[in-house]
Amino acid sequence: MLVFKFGGASVKDVEGVINLKSIVQLYENQTILVVVSAMGKMTNALEEVVKLFYKKEEYAQKLKEIEDYHQTLINGLFEDKTEITASLKKHIQRIQDYLESVDGQRYDEIYDQVISNGELISTLIISTYLNQEGVSNRWLDTRKYLKTDATFREAKVNWEATQSSIDLLEQNVNLFITQGFIGGASDNKTTTLGREGSDYTASIFAHCLKAESVTIWKDVPGVLSADPRLFSEYQKFDQLSYTEAVEMTYYGATVIHPKTIKPLQNSNIPLYVKPFLHPEEAGTVINSGEFLQKNISAIIVKKNQLLISISTKDFSFISELNISHIYEIFAKLNLKCNVSQNSALSFTVCLDYDDMKFEELIKLLETSFKVRYNENVTLYTIRHYDSNVLQKILEGKIVILEQLSRSTAQIVVK
C-alpha cells in the first residue's frame, strides 16, 4: 500500500486533475490510497462564508462563487456533466441548509461543518473523473474511518477507534480516493485536524494501513531551505531525519503539517515530498536516517502574528501561577504559542493572529492582567543559523523580540 497526498494547488484546475490521473497511472500495479485537499483556495473561500455568516452579513454571493469555481472544473473535465453537477449543487445546498439551521453553536463547530465540504466536493469530482477515464477507484468518506474527539478545528485523533475502523476497510480495489483534513466525532459531527491537516490525514492512514511509504505531491521540488515566494536564494534538502522535520514543522514550515511525522516515525514509514509536475524527480525523503545537511540554514517565516505583552496589575512578579493561567486561556481558545519570553514583570508571547478570537482573547486576559500588543508582526525562525544569515534577514527591520538557542533563532520583527 502506498499513500499519496495532493494539496489544493496540485488540483486547482483542469490540468492539475489530469496530472493527478497521470501520476496515479504511473503506479497502476500497486494499491494506492490518495488523500486530496480542497481545490485551489476553496478552504479560504469557505472560511469567508463562515465569517460572513457569523458576522450576520450576506454570504450567498461567496457561496455562488464557490459553486461556479467547481462548475468550471466540471465543465472542463466531464463529457456528461449531469450527475456530478447535481452532486455539486447538493453540497452547496447542504451548506445553505446547515447555516439556516444553526442555533447557538460556537464558531469553531460551525467552521468545521462548513469547511469540510471543500474536501468532500474535490474528492467527489476527482473520483468521478477517474472512473470516467477508466481509472477504477473507490471513494471513501474519511469521517467513517478517521475518528476524533469533538475539539472542533483542532480535533484529537482517537487512535484505537480509528485503527478499528480502518481495519474494516475492504481492500477490494487498487485505488482509493479520500479526503484530507477532516474526521468524524462520536456524535457524527464533522471535525477538522487544523489548517493544512491533509498531510496528517495521509500519515494516519499510512500508520494504520502499515503502508510502504507516503508521498506528498507539491508545487515545489521538495523541502526547501526557504520559501521561494519570499526568498531568491534557497536550497533543496535531499534527505531529512524525522527529528529535523519535526523541528521545522513545529516552527511553522508549511511544506508539511506539524503532526504528520510522529505516526510515520512510530511505524518507520518514509515520507517523500515530490514535485507533482515532475514526478520522476527524487524530491526529499524524510526517514530515520541522520540529518546530514546542517550546514544549510532553514528559514521559516510566519506572517500576521500577534505579539502580546502581559503583566500583573499590582506590579508583582510574573509567577508560574500567572503563566499557567495565561496558557489556560490560550488552550480554551485553541491558540498556539509560537515563541514566548518572560521577565520579572511581564510575559511576552507570539501567536497566530485570529480575527475571530482576538477580542475574546484580549477580554479574557484583561480580567487578570495588563495587556499590550502589536498586530501584524512577522516571526522568523532560523534553524542552524549563522551570523551572516541573521544579518541578511534582519537588514532594515525593527526587532521587537529575539531568542537564540544553540541551533535555533526566533526573531519577531515589524
Domains of the chain: 2-211 (3.40.1160.10), 298-413 (3.30.2130.10)
Give me the amino acid identity at 338: N
58: burial class by Cβ within 10 Å (0-12, 13-18, 19+)?
A: exposed
Cα-Cα end-to-end distance for the chain: 47
pLDDT in tens, 204-218: 999 999 999 999 999
| pLDDT given for residue 294 in this prediction | 82
- 91-111 average pLDDT score: 95
**Per-residue confidence (pLDDT) for residue 255, from 0 to 100:** 79
- pLDDT, tens digit (0-9, with 9 covering 90-100), for 213-249: 999 999 899 999 999 989 988 999 999 999 999 999 8
Place of cell 507570539: 350
The answer on pLDDT for 333 being more than 90 is: yes
Share of the chain above pLDDT 90, in %: 89
Task: Summarize the confidence of residues 170-182 as an average pLDDT.
Answer: 94
Q: Quote the pLDDT of residue 408.
A: 95
Taking the C-alpha atoms of residue 101 and residue 91, their distance in angstroms, rounded to an integer, is 15
Give the pLDDT mean for 400-410: 94
Mean pLDDT of the chain: 95
- Residue 254 confidence (pLDDT): 77
Annotated ligand binding at 143? The verdict is no
- What pLDDT score does 252 carry? 85
3-class secondary structure for the chain? CEEEEECHHHHCCHHHHHHHHHHHHCCCCCCEEEEECCCCCHHHHHHHHHHHHHCCCCCHHHHHHHHHHHHHHHHHHCCCCHHHHHHHHHHHHHHHHHHHHCCCCCHHHHHHHHHCHHHHHHHHHHHHHHHHCCCCCEECCHHHCCEECCCCCCCCECHHHHHHHHHCCCCCCCEEEEECCEEECCCCCEEECCCCCHHHHHHHHHHHHCCCEEEEEECCCCCECCCCCCCCCCCECCEEEHHHHHHHHHCCCCCCCCCCHHHHHHHCCCEEEEECCCCCCCCEEEECCCCCCCCCCEEEEEEEEEEEEEEECCCCCCCHHHHHHHHHHHHHCCCCEEEEEECCCEEEEEEECCCCCHHHHHHHHHCCEEEEEEEEEEEEEEECCCHHHHHHHHCCCCEEEEEECCCEEEEEEC
**Pick from 4, 414, 394, 401: nearest CA to 199:** 4
Q: Is 184 annotated as a binding residue?
A: no
Least Cα distance to 96 among 129, 70, 59 occurs for: 59
CB contact at 8 A, 220 and 183: no
Comparing C-alpha atoms, which of 287, 288, 23, 285 is closest to residue 135?
23
- Inform me whether the pLDDT recorded for 23 exceeds 80: yes
Statement: residue 315 has pLDDT above 90? no
pLDDT higher at 295 or 26: 26
**Is 276 known as a binding-site position?**
no
Q: What pLDDT is stored for residue 273 in this prediction?
A: 96
Average pLDDT over residues 200-207: 97
- Is 303 annotated as belonging to a binding site? no
Lowest-confidence segment of 86-90, 145-149, 258-262, 322-326 by average pLDDT: 258-262
Q: Across residues 114-129, what is the average pLDDT?
A: 98
What amino acid occupies position 2? L
pLDDT (average), residues 377-382? 96
pLDDT over 70 percentage in the chain: 100
pLDDT in tens, 334-363: 898 999 999 999 999 999 999 989 999 999
Could you report the per-residue pLDDT of 258-288, keeping only the tens digit for each? 899 999 999 999 999 999 999 999 999 999 9
Predicted pLDDT of residue 171: 83
Confidence of residue 375 (pLDDT cuts 50, 70, 90): very high
Size (the chain), residues: 414
Q: Is 383 annotated as a binding residue?
A: no
Summarised one tens digit per residue, pLDDT across range 43-97 is 999 999 999 999 999 999 999 999 999 999 999 999 999 999 999 999 999 999 9
- Tell me whether residue 7 is annotated as binding: yes
User: HEC string of 47-74?
Assistant: HHHHHHHHCCCCCHHHHHHHHHHHHHHH
231 is in an annotated binding site: no
- Decide: 181 and 201 in contact? Cβ < 8 Å: yes
